[in-house]
Amino acid sequence: MSTTEPSPEQRKAAVAGVFDRAAATYDQVRVEFFGPAGELLVRRTAPTPGERVLDVGCGRGASALPAARLVGPAGAVTATDLAPAMVEAVRRQAADLPWLTAELGDAEQPPPGPFDVVQGGLVMFFLPDFAGALDRYRAVLVPGGRLGFTWFGPPDPRWEPVFEALGSVLPADQRPPRRPGTDGAFASPQSMADVLGERGWHDVDTSDTEIVVRVRDADHWFAWSWSQGYRTMLERIEAHGALEEARARVEPLLERLADDGGLEWRALIRCTLARS
- Residues near ligand SAM (CB under 6 A) are 12, 15-16, 19, 34, 37-38, 56-59, 62-63, 80-83, 86, 106-108, 121-123, 126-127, 229
Residue nearer to ligand SAM on the CB measure, 62 or 263: 62
Query: Cβ of residue 201: shortest distance to ligand SAM, in angstroms?
Result: 20
Contact 201, 274 (CB under 8 A): yes
Residue nearer to ligand SAM on the CB measure, 6 or 144: 6
Helix pair 243-259, 218-226: axis angle to 10 deg? 120
Return contacts of 105-108, CB within 8 angstroms, 24+ apart.
105/56, 105/80, 105/81, 106/12, 106/80, 106/82, 107/56, 107/57, 107/80, 107/82, 107/133, 108/12, 108/132, 108/133, 108/136
Residue nearer to ligand SAM on the CB measure, 59 or 153: 59
Task: Tell me the C-alpha to C-alpha distance, in Å, between residue 181 and each of 58, 108, 124, 187, 273.
Answer: 18, 15, 8, 8, 18
Residue nearer to ligand SAM on the CB measure, 56 or 215: 56
Query: Cβ of residue 6: shortest distance to ligand SAM, in angstroms?
Result: 14
Query: Cβ of residue 252: shortest distance to ligand SAM, in angstroms?
Result: 29
Residues facing 40 on adjacent strands: none
Residue nearest to ligand SAM (CB): 59
Residue nearer to ligand SAM on the CB measure, 19 or 222: 19
